[in-house]
Copies of this chain bind each other. A is one copy, B any other.
Amino acid sequence: MNKKLLDAIKQLSDVESFKDVCHQQAQNHPMPSVDVLGDIVQLIRSILFPGYFGNANVNSRSMLYHIGVNVEKLHSQLSNQIKAGMCFDSREEDKACSLMDNEANDKATQFISQLSTIREKLHTDVLAAFNGDPAAKSFGEVIFCYPSIRAISNYRIANALLKLDVPLIPRIITEMAHSETGIDIHPGASIGDFFTIDHGTGVVIGETAIIGNNVKMYQGVTLGAKSFPLDADGNPIKGIQRHPRIGNNVIIYSNSTILGTITVGDGAVIGGNIWVDSDVPAGAKIVQRK
């Protein structure tokens, strides 16, 4: 413990030095936790796809017990993390946090009521991946090891939480999938049924993107913003519509970039490695010039 270290400690503990990059969570209230949210996503997957995930063998006789215990555990852990997100966001004092318990419990309950619908939607995504990929050997292989199913699961979970006005948590959940799969879907995007992403690394789907049913994308595709309207202070206006609307039955090949509030019509096919920033009519095929 020499003088240099003691000086560094002093400097780093100086209020001026840390005040803008420090977070003080209300005492006794939980921080959002990437580890706990990882467990929560794993728990949701074990409810949605019984037998594929979770530690237990399942069968139809014992299904009720497993779902019962997992739903109760999910409700408890998720309420906690929803509250953690609300506290984190509010930056208010203890009292405010303590009052959030009921609201957090309610949101967790509402989310759980939607799990059955989320399961149905994911079922369509699995079907689309299996049917669309000549390399897919079995239905189970798709559920068990396709990164796109992981990314889309996290998105559908996060999207449902965002619609319940849960702050922060949805973004953490999609970033977990982003880190794991290289697929970055903003929880605010709107995505139809039978959605597939092949390979997936580098895919970006922005906050206000809208995607129809039966759409297929390849690795490296971006649905991005072209430019952001600025506010009076010269900063981008938050949350404004700025991403493309993709119709039904569209295919977008690898590494293409679709930008701005344009519309890609039903049944369009967009080739690889191209840059699209104006509307694409229904049924059109666009490819890179050689």
Query: How many chain copies does the complex carry?
Result: 6
Is there a chain B Cβ closer than 8 Å to A214's Cβ? no
Q: Identify A138's interface contact among B76, B89, B101, B254, CB under 8 A.
A: B89
Give chain A's interface residue range (CB within 8 Å of chain B). Answer: 35 or more
Q: Which of A65, A220, A254 has the most CB of B within 10 A?
A: A65
Write out the residue numbers on chain B whose beta carbons fall within 8 Å of the beta carbon of A61.
Answer: 1, 6
Per-residue 0/1 for A35-79: is the Cβ within 8 Å of any B Cβ (1 yes, 0 no)?
Answer: 000000000000111111000111111111111110111011000
Bound-state Cα–Cα, A201 to B184, Å: 8
Q: Are A219 and B242 in contact (CB under 8 A)?
A: no
Bound-state Cα–Cα, A172 to B15, Å: 32
Q: Are B218 and A202 in contact (CB under 8 A)?
A: no
Per-residue 0/1 for A253-270: is the Cβ within 8 Å of any B Cβ (1 yes, 0 no)?
Answer: 111110100000000000
Write out the residue numbers on chain B whose beta carbons fall within 8 Å of the beta carbon of A98.
Answer: 98
Q: Are B272 and A257 in contact (CB under 8 A)?
A: yes
Which residue of B is nearest A109, CB measured?
Answer: B4
Q: Are B167 and A137 in contact (CB under 8 A)?
A: yes
Report the minimal beta-carbon distance from A59 to chain B, rounded to whole angstroms: 6
Q: Are B254 and A204 in contact (CB under 8 A)?
A: yes
Q: Identify A207's interface contact among B5, B17, B135, B272, CB under 8 A.
A: B135
Interchain residue pairs A-B with the least CB separation, the first 7: A65-B68, A23-B51, A1-B61, A134-B236, A13-B64, A13-B67, A135-B207
Q: Which residues of A contact B (CB under 8 A)?
A: 1-2, 4-9, 11-13, 15, 17-18, 20-25, 27-28, 32, 47-52, 56-69, 71-73, 75-76, 88-89, 91, 98, 101, 109-110, 112-113, 115-116, 119, 122-123, 126, 131-138, 140-141, 143-147, 167-168, 171-172, 175, 178-182, 184, 186, 188, 199, 201-202, 204, 206-207, 218-220, 222, 224-225, 228, 235-240, 242, 253-257, 259, 271-275, 287-290
> 18 A-B Cβ contacts within 8 A?
A9-B64, A17-B116, A21-B52, A21-B119, A21-B122, A21-B126, A22-B49, A23-B140, A27-B57, A28-B76, A62-B69, A91-B140, A137-B171, A182-B202, A218-B224, A222-B254, A253-B257, A254-B257
